[in-house]
Amino acid sequence: MKFLFYFFYYPLLRQLRNHFKNQAYRRWIACYESREDARKQELLGTLATIDPVSVPTISLLLPVCNPPLRFLKEAIHSVEQQGWPHWELCIVDDGSSDRSIIEYLTDLSTHEPRVKLLFHKEQGGIASTTNDALALASGTFVAFLDHDDLLAPTALAEVVMALVQEPEASFLYTDEDKIDTRGRRCDPLFKPDWNPNLLTSLNYCCHLSVLRRSLVLDLGGLDSRVEGAQDWDLLLRATEQLTPSQIVHIPKVLYHWRISYHSTARSIKAKPHVTEASRRVLENHLRRQERAFLKMEHVHLGGHWHVKYALPSPAPLVSMIIPNRDQIKLLQSCLESIEAKTDYPCYEILIADNDSQDGALLAYYRKQEAKKNVRVIKTPGPFNYSSINNRAVREARGEILLLLNNDIEVTHSSWLHEMVSHAIRPEVGAVGALLLYPDGRIQHAGVVLGIAGPMKINGVAGHVGKYFKGDEAIAGNRMKVVQNFSAVTGACLAVRKKLYEEVGGMDERDLPVAFNDVDFCLKLHMAGYFNVWTPFARLLHHESQSRKSDTTPAKKKRFRSEIETMRTRWGWLLDHDPAYNPNLTLEHENWGLAWPPR
């Protein structure tokens, strides 16, 4: 019966959920994009005051090959409707057989001086066609437009405004959505700011992408050898040359990607060669970065990848630090699962005991300490999670620290290899895992800053995606791939010991219980490291069974003080999480829309 339910009804339920989700999105558009004309005038008024010498021209590169004429006209009309007038449209027709397209483009170039036009006699493919459009371009920046997609009316003006604010930018990208077969906007993709590990997992930047023309020329344009994934390849090669400050995300839906029968927007199955091209793109990127990897797997239709990185030989020693007080059953389950299901070759376990009194537990400690790789570290005094971990870290011998709650249960063998393979990367700070409740729902899939909840009692951080199923496909499938988050939970957190000490460990004074892991991650973030979350280290979390909830007056007072500490210390960052998006809610942990956007 369960099989029949999933086979017959689950696809229907998913369709209904997407239907209501898109209805909500269209209501959101009606509420918050109704000022489009006013916004255009506001932008143009501001941009009119800038120095004419610094005014950038944007060259739009438009390869064309037999689109429906109506869609092509709509795409070009969306360019003509741009409020920013300093653009040129570089069109290369790649051997279209439809005579009406050729006539339309010829007439267009005759009447619009900002249009440059070239015809191919034979089809050469999208990469070479786009390169020929690039050769026509003279603008400071180039943007990429498909022959049946649409730009929002303020797209170029918003890009220029961002360039005025960030004049050193060389790559800008925006949010996007799709246009369904009935002409309705749907499936918005609200992106994070620069997220290098997410770009290695999939081409999340995609549309609208705007790059400095000189950079694209220096890179040799698009590579026709990876036809089908040439845009991802270009963005990877470009961002390899740039600093994070040169990469700007504009959190506005400025590009509308049309769903058609042959479009990748509809299904990756429409273009099956894309998968193999994407594999070559990713392999080339990793080799240029000199990152040793064991294998890469295509984990989801749509160009989503998992790279299993290699470890050095010998593998670094990992010091697992597990705080515990009088919890023999939880600790026993945790330790037994580590021993039985971990294939990582080199680790020690430090049990950070916080004044346990249970005789059976103390006897269990003695039995565990008989093992060569297990030690019990005494951390006496009132419960202070930060202090307990800091004390244990001083005793740790490993190059890698793994902070682990005693209510974690290991479920598959490669979890520690996955986490350590990221933690040893020089640019990476903390590494977090996918933690599931015993019923398979998500407990932790990355920490988002600023989430207050519907009662608005927090405003510091929350676990985005909480309570969704572990294999749920939401938010552009972000919960399925490795990516950067501003913070990850200390319930299962890997980090190099050197970095832990570099940023001063956890705050024992002001954050003894709550938010110390978030604060620690933000210190790493501000030191220039990227915190990483991976769904390929998957563990069970029997959350907070070892501690009572904070319900006493003293605990409530302490919690309010910890919130105040975080708001005072990190207020601006909590309200502008670079790994999230201001169009997404801070009242819920469900990747939902913000009403209103921030």
By the 8 A CB rule, do 500 and 428 touch? Answer: no
Q: Both 333 and 357 in a single domain?
A: yes
Mean pLDDT of the region 110-139? 96
**What confidence score (pLDDT) does residue 552 get?**
84
Residue 502 lies in a domain: yes
Q: Both 259 and 146 in a single domain?
A: yes
Mean pLDDT of the region 560-588? 95
CATH code for the domain in which residue 452 is found: 3.90.550.10
Q: Both 7 and 100 in a single domain?
A: no
Determine the structural domain holding residue 99 and report its residue range.
44-285
Q: What tens digit of pLDDT does each residue of 492-531 get?
A: 999 999 999 999 999 999 999 999 999 999 999 999 999 9
Q: Both 194 and 274 in a single domain?
A: yes
Q: Is the pLDDT of residue 549 over 60?
A: no
pTM: 0.93
Q: Is the pLDDT of residue 10 over 90?
A: no
Q: Is the pLDDT of residue 262 over 60?
A: no
Question: Which 3 state secondary structure label does DSSP give 280?
Answer: helix
Residue/partner pairs of 72-80 with CB below 8 Å, 24 or more apart: 72/101, 72/104, 72/147, 72/148, 73/104, 74/148, 74/150, 75/145, 75/146, 75/147, 75/148, 75/149, 75/150, 76/108, 78/150, 78/151, 78/152, 78/153, 79/145, 79/151, 80/112
Mean pLDDT, the chain, whole residue set: 91
Q: Both 140 and 72 in a single domain?
A: yes
Q: Both 113 and 13 in a single domain?
A: no
Residue 141 lies in a domain: yes
Count of the separate structural domains present in the chain: 3
Residue 356 lies in a domain: yes
Cα gap 549→541, rounded to integer Å: 16
Q: Both 49 and 20 in a single domain?
A: no
Cα gap 386→508, rounded to integer Å: 5
Q: Both 210 and 338 in a single domain?
A: no
Q: Both 119 and 96 in a single domain?
A: yes
Mean pLDDT of the region 399-412? 97
* 10-19, 193-202, 231-240, 570-579: range with lowest mean pLDDT: 10-19
Q: Both 347 and 277 in a single domain?
A: no
Mean pLDDT of the region 287-311? 89
Q: What percent of the chain has pLDDT over 90?
A: 82
Strand-pairing partners, residue 449, are 461
By the 8 A CB rule, do 565 and 438 touch? Answer: no
Residue 301 lies in a domain: no
Q: Both 327 and 207 in a single domain?
A: no
Q: Is the pLDDT of residue 286 over 50?
A: yes
Residue 292 lies in a domain: no
Cα gap 169→56, rounded to integer Å: 12
Domain boundary residue among 285, 307, 337? 285
Mean pLDDT of the region 95-114? 95
DSSP string, 61-108: EEEESS--HHHHHHHHHHHHT-S---EEEEEEEE----HHHHHHHHHH
Roughly how many angstroms between the first and final C-alpha of the chain, as a whole number? 45
Q: Both 76 and 5 in a single domain?
A: no
**What confidence score (pLDDT) does residue 263 get?**
52
Mean pLDDT of the region 319-327? 97
Mean pLDDT of the region 355-379? 96
